Every structure is written in structure tokens, then in C-alpha cells.
Structure 1
Amino acid sequence: MSDRNQAAWPAGLLLAYYGDDFTGSTDAMEAMTAAGVPTLLCLDTPTPELLARFPEVRCVGLAGSSRGRTPQWMDDELPRAFASLAALGAPILHYKVCSTFDSSPEIGSIGRAIDIGVRHMPGKWSPMIVGAPRLKRYQAFGNLFAAVDGEGYRVDRHPTMSRHPVTPMDEADLRVHLRRQTERRIELIDLVQVRSPDAGAKVRELMRGDPPVVMIDVLDDETLAAAGRLVWEERGEGVFTASSSGLQYALAAYWRANGLVPQTPSLPIAKPVEAIAAVSGSCSPVTASQIRWARENGFCVERLDLCRALDERSRSAEVERAVNVAAQALAHGQSALVFSAEGPDDPDVVGFDAIASRARMTRFDAARRIGEALAEVMRRLLDRVPLSRVVVAGGDSSGEVASALGISALSVAAGMAPGSPLCRAWSNDPARDGLEIALKGGQIGGVSFFGSVREGRLLT
């Protein structure tokens, strides 16, 4: 490594991040680990004692749940989380958001998170990278696009995100969308400007006054590396950024171009196992197709009865029923999947407001209770059946399950689908320590995802 590169590669941590949900947190961890930057994802505030066990780590994440929370919750919880991460001394503090940017002024407000986060870093700007070509997310002239099944959509016309049950995207121009959530100045470095050698000067010009949010277009590998260069070279004494894992991919692309990380991103390959257990709280059509595949390819697939799971009188019995079905299948070497919904047109999804009302709950509280029920299914199942590998589909469900299992931290064990690595669990409980777990967002993975996790097949 040249003297110039050594100067560009500071000692200690390079980046610390807070993930707004668990699946997104593992996505960011995968991007850094694959680039050759050792990364640890903590499930609670990282302590010196925990970090001392991983001296090689250069990126630390904290898995959170703010994507489904109110601005008041953010005001109460995020300052403490951001302060703990800023204290680690990394030059970039990252609030990791979903690459589909789903958010609203009432739930998962990215604007509120930015307003809180910029106070914890001295930077004079707050860069934002959302596009991530590896995840088929593209930003052009401030507008976000996402591809599914080989077809690209403006995000406000996306078959899933435009119909998201909590935060539907009705605006593709991210500047317009974000202005509903913050009064902070919002600027754009578009896909023409980011390629320019004068892009850095443009950023410095925008720094005048209060720190602005500066969105950076990413459309392809060239603009990805250019965006990474802009953030890294203009980081100053430290910046706060609300970005998708596109930030990690962009930084890695720039570091790779400068010989700071290996030229070829790579992750280990997992070995096959006889059977896996999975739970799914995702309403995505992508996950629905994966559930159908599992049903048609030898998995035991069992639906959780939502009305019984929300009723305190029948809740435990319904969880135990699902556990019994799954445990019997696993005892015969058959993989098992317990799910709460099968796509956005599932009657339980369409009628969820009525189901929540009958349970005398808000939609938000009912959704969280379903996540808790799925977590209890997985916890009881692991207590009963010796399993080495499990899957959780759905961001909220992933957080509930990981918390219920007493996991302290995660690291990447192997590659799987882009955005959903196979993770190694670190726990003080010997029964959980070493468990392999894949946390899958709703839009992630091919149709045979569950089978690929079982077989250890790498999906691209």
C-alpha cells in the first residue's frame, strides 16, 4: 500500500452505523464484509467489553427498529444510540435506511432521524446515497427506481412499495418526499455532476449555512464509485449520513479503485444442512412467491392464525400449535416454515385493520404482536429441536426474533442473496452461540430463497 493510500486509510473504525431495521442492518454488514472490511453488527449498544472480543473489526453496526417507529420514539431513543456510535470515533456515522426509502412524517421519518443525527457529527453537510445497483435500486436526477423480476419501476409505481401497508411510496422524487419530513435544506448532486472533477467543489459550495442534506445520484458502477469518492474525500472531521447500503457499496467501490480493499468482493460459501426452520411476517409478493416455492418443494408450510395469535386467551396455544406442526416435520428431516401472510392480496393483509380492531389494538400494535408471536414460535422451536440454521423474513419480524433469541451480535458467515447474508450469531447462551441465521427483507431473494439457504447455494 502506498504512503498516499495509508494516509487515506485512517487507523481505527472507518464507519459506524445504526440500521433502521434488522434486515437492512445485515445488508449493510454484508456490503462491508464482502469488501474486506471486518464488520460486527450489535443488537444492543456496543460495549467496550464486546468490542474487545473483535479487535479486527473496522465497522460497527447497531441494529434498530426505527423504520416502524414514530418521530416521538425517535426523539426519545435515537440521540442515545447516535451518541454511543459517535463515541466510537469513526469518521462516518451512518443512519442506514431501506433502499426503497419507504418512510413518512408519521412512521419511520428519515427527516427526523437526520435532524437528530447531524448534531452528533461536526460535518458541514449530510450526504445521502440511496441507489444501490447490486440491489437493483437506481437514483437518477433525484428520482428513485427499483427493479423486480427484470422490470424497472419508478418507486411510486412499484408493485410492492406503492402499496406498502404502513408507508406506501407515492412520490419518486426523493427531494419532494424528504421535504415532508424535515425543514432542512435538501440539495442534489445529479448523475452528470457526480462524474465531474468539480463535484467536490460543488459540495463545498453547498456547505454554506446550516448543514444541508445532499442527495447523490447513483445509476451504475461509475456513479457508484464517484459517489463514494465524494463522501470519503469530503468527510472532513466527520459526517452524518442517512443512506441505504448504497453508501457502503459506494465507499467500497472507491476504496477498491484506490487499492485499499481487495479488487474482488467475496464471501465464504455455506455448506448444506439437512433441514432449516423459517418464520415469515413479510407481506411482500416476493416473499409470497418464495413461500409458494417452499410449499411446492417439500417444506412443511403452516399459517399462523392471526385472530388467535392476537387474542390473549388463545395466543400461547396458537403459538404452541404452530411449533408442534413444525417440530414434527423437522423430526422427520423436513424443513418447516411458519408464516403470517402470503402477499399483499392475502385476505389477512387486506382485512388486517378489521382483525386488529376485533383484538382492540391499533394496526401498529397488532403488527408488532404478530412479530412477537413469530419470534416465540422460533424460540420454542429452537428449544425443542437442535437446529443449526434458521431464516426470518420481514424486517419487523427479524428484529423480534433476534431479540427473543438472546443474540448479542452478528457477523457474516457466508454469502446468500444480495442484501441477505447468512449470519453467525454471537450469544452468551451456549445454545444460541454459533447459530446461523438469515434475516431477509421482503423484496430480497429469488423464488427459491428458502431452499438456497438450506442448500448453501449463493444467489446473485
Structure 2
Amino acid sequence: MTADINAPFYGWYGDDFTGATDTLATLFKRGAKAFLFLGVPSSRHLAMAGALDAVGIAGSARAMTPDAMKAELRPVGQFFARAGIKVMHYKCCSTFDSARHVGNIATAMDILRAFVDQRQAVILGGQPSLGRYCVFGNLFASIGTEAAVHRLDRHPTMSRHPSTPMAEADIRRHLQQLGADAVGLVDWTALENERLFIGDEPNILFDVLTQEHLAAIGIELKHRARQGSLLVVGASSVAEAIYGDTSSPVIEPQPTNNGPVLAIVGSLSSLTRRQIEAATSFIRISADAGRFVKEESYREDMARQIASALRDECNVLLSTAPQDPASIASADTRLAQTVGRFTDRLLSEVPVRRLIAAGGDTSSHMAQNLNLWGLAYGGLLSPGVALSIGRSDDPQRDGISLMLKGGQMGSIDLFDQFAAGVA
């Protein structure tokens, strides 16, 4: 793919699959024709996706070491540069959780900056539509759809995240602790008074408290894009800023609502636990996470049990999240990888067409193991929770319906909504 007058204006890389599909939904709702690939696409798959305003790549950098991130992101940056993308969006979690050793956002910025024209990277600090607010550089977040908002370092979930606990609410300090160069700030008062004096720091953070702030930031980003390609880091608020309010959504293909649902939950969040408890239309099965990773015979027995229920047209919800995260310390990635392979084998025996994955790592590894090359938008169930339609060269997998959900996203009855075909 080479740059031309019809090149997509916007390109995004999601550092996990749940976030990548949320940006896909955000773009569709704003009239942008977008498609999400599960890796740098081939020319044939690009042609199959058709003309696009925005092109996305879903990955799993959030769970990678810095060296692995380099191998993952350099081809992505090269692809976006060849494609003529003007806004290159590194889509991170809306809570910016990362650490020096895993999912390092500063590392991602260093890698991708080499593939854009402009030296200064732009960071958007909040997403009000998801209950994320950045004030004088400090990030505040709600829990799911609840009203309570917490400063990030005091957030009941994010401050205790098992792999990337957030002990710093100031995004500038957080990124510099990860190794980023100096980060300047355009605070919310400057946005409201239209005083966008922007320094020459290598990185610039924008506060976001309201949708009006996003509109002002969007004007600035589009002005910058006319001067050359740029790197923007943040949640789906980046797409909201660029494409404005919801209007004239693209007509989307419809996901299938036929057949049983297989849900696999690896999230440790308290919200997801409540969603599991509220899932009345599912047979619920809890796996011992340690045994699930280590014992093939244990997985075989579980697969037989699940396959039998699915053949009887029953919805099945398998939870692999350990009750005590310390019981499988340092094995988060191994667990997610095992879940991905387990799901692929299970679907080879029982060709289920409706899938749920809850948890960022679980979603990423499950989708990567399904022999899919891309995801089309299939609807929105809840803020931050999109439906996707899998595209595959395998007819048994092509058109499969997916709900990939982050741990802190969605209404309490989300699983039953999906099972009932509500979108």
C-alpha cells in the first residue's frame, strides 16, 4: 500500500483487542468507514476491506516486554507511514496503566515517533464518555457505569492492578517514570479560554474534562495534521476529538444471533465478577487457573464438559480468573495464551458462532488464535463494549460474532444482553 490522495487519514494501533474494537466502534458511530486488522494486512486483505477512512491494527503490546514491543510496533509504524496516514493513534487503555517492564507506553512512543513527520507527540488524558477525566495532568476514573470517580492512584481496581498497579495519577510523571522525555501540559483552563500556547517539549499532554474540550483539541489535531503526520497517544477519545459528535453512522453489517454463546472470562475486576454473577442465561464453570495452565488432562476434561453443553444449545461461561491473583503470580500471559489455544481447539470440535472474551489479555490471545485476519464493526452493546464480526479465510470462522470486553467496561447484565442478541 502506498500513499495517495485516497489514503486513510487516520490509523490506530490498539495495545489490546478490547481497546482496538472500542476505537472501531467510535469511528463507525461518527460516520468514518473503518476496519480493524489483526496484524499488518496483506494486499489481498486490504483490498477485501475496501476503501477506508481509517485503518486499525489490533495487537497485544500492553502485555509485552519493551523488546517484544519493538518487534511488534516497527512493522506497524512502517505500514502506517507507507499508507500515508496523517494521524497515527497509539490506542492505550483509558487508564494509561503500564509499567517499565510490560506494556510500556513510553517505549511505544519512542518506536512510533520515527514513522511520523512531527517531533512532538500529543497525549490526550481523558475520555468523559467512559468516565475518564484529566485535570491539571491528573487522571480520574469511574468504575464501570457507577457514579463514583476516583483519582487513579486511589482507584479501587487500577491502584491494585496485578501487573501494572497505578501508584501515580499525574500522567506526566507516570510517562516520565516509564522513560519518556519531558511532557508539557495544556490544561483545561487554557482550553476553555482558547489559549492553546504549546511549548516545545517532546511530548504534550492535553487535559480532558468535557466533550467541548475534545472538540477544541480536535481542531488543533486536524490543524497539525495539515502540517504533516503526527503521533497521538490516548484512549478512543482521540477518535472522538478528530471525528466529532455521533452523526450519520456508517451502515454496519449485522452479527449472527443464532446458536449458543461461549464466554471466557479472564478479568480480575470487581465489575466483571458482578457481571458473571448476573449472567442468568449461562451455565457457569470456574476453572482452577493454576491447573488450567499446567495440566493437559484438566483442560481435556473441561473441554469435554463445555462441548457437551454447547452441543445441547446451552450458553457456557468459563471463568479462568483466579480468586487469588497471587496463586498464579507472574503467569498472566501464560494463562491468556493457554485460553487462546483452548478456545481454538474447542471451536474446532463445536463450531460456535458467538463468542465473548472478558479481559484485555484474554481477548487479545483468544482472537489471535481463531485464524481471523480482521474485525468488522457489528454494533455497540454498552459504552466501551463493541460487537465485532470476525473475518477469516476459513469458512467455519468467517462471520463469527465476537464481544471483546475490558475488565472495567459494560453494564451489569452485559452477558445476558449479548446472549439475547440485543445491540
Pick the TM interval, shorter chain.
over 0.9
Within the candidate set 286, 293, 303, 2:286 is matched to 303
CA distance in 2, matches of 1:266, 1:158: 38
- Contact 1:267–1:415 (Cα < 8 Å) also in 2: no
- Contact 2:256–2:401 (Cα < 8 Å) also in 1: no
Partner of 1:166: 163
Partner of 2:314: 334
Partner of 2:394: 429
Within the candidate set 305, 308, 324, 2:304 is matched to 324
Distance 1:443 1:404, change over 3 A: same
Q: Which amino acid aligns with 2:278?
A: W
- Contact 2:218–2:242 (Cα < 8 Å) also in 1: yes
- Contact 1:17–1:94 (Cα < 8 Å) also in 2: yes
Partner of 1:412: 377
* Mapping of residues 148-297 of structure 1, within 5 Å: 148=143, 149-199=146-196, 202-203=197-198, 206-207=199-200, 212-235=202-225, 236-253=227-244, 256=245, 262=247, 272-294=257-279, 297=280
Displacement of 1:145 after TM fit?
0.7
Displacement of 1:84 after TM fit?
1.6
Displacement of 1:267 after TM fit?
6.4
Instruction: Name the TM-score, length of structure 1 as normaliser.
Output: 0.86
Within the candidate set 58, 67, 85, 1:63 is matched to 58
Partner of 2:415: 450
Displacement of 1:247 after TM fit?
0.3
CA distance in 2, matches of 1:270, 1:436: 5
User: Root-mean-square deviation (CA), in Å?
Assistant: 2.0
**The residue matched to 2:231 in structure 1 has which SS?**
strand
**The residue matched to 1:87 in structure 2 has which SS?**
helix
**The residue matched to 1:326 in structure 2 has which SS?**
helix
Displacement of 1:140 after TM fit?
1.1
Determine what percentage of the aligned residue pairs are the same residue. Answer: 33
CA distance in 2, matches of 1:28, 1:408: 18
Deviations 1:139-195 (A, max 9, x none): 111111111222111111111100100000001111111111234121111111123
Farther off after superposition, 300-309 or 390-399 = 300-309
Which blocks of at least 5 consecutive residues in structure 2 are unaligned?
Answer: none
Displacement of 1:387 after TM fit?
2.4
CA distance in 1, matches of 2:271, 2:366: 21
CA distance in 1, matches of 2:392, 2:255: 20
Q: Which amino acid aligns with 1:285?
A: S
- Contact 2:353–2:397 (Cα < 8 Å) also in 1: no
* Mapping of residues 103-122 of structure 1, within 5 Å: 103-122=98-117
Distance 1:243 1:436, change over 3 A: same
CA distance in 2, matches of 1:111, 1:72: 13
- Contact 1:141–1:190 (Cα < 8 Å) also in 2: yes
Displacement of 1:351 after TM fit?
2.4
Distance 1:448 1:12, change over 3 A: same
Distance 1:232 1:162, change over 3 A: same
CA distance in 1, matches of 2:215, 2:57: 25
- Contact 2:127–2:208 (Cα < 8 Å) also in 1: yes
Displacement of 1:91 after TM fit?
0.5
Partner of 1:358: none
Q: Establish whether residue 351 from structure 1 lines up as the match of residue 327 from structure 2.
A: yes
Farther off after superposition, 268-277 or 159-168 = 268-277
Displacement of 1:417 after TM fit?
1.7
Distance 1:269 1:223, change over 3 A: farther
Distance 1:265 1:417, change over 3 A: farther
- Contact 1:42–1:410 (Cα < 8 Å) also in 2: yes
Aligned length: 416
Instruction: Name the TM-score, length of structure 2 as normaliser.
Output: 0.93
Q: Establish whether residue 402 from structure 1 lines up as the match of residue 392 from structure 2.
A: no
Distance 1:214 1:70, change over 3 A: same
Which blocks of at least 5 consecutive residues in structure 1 are unaligned?
Answer: 1-9, 354-362
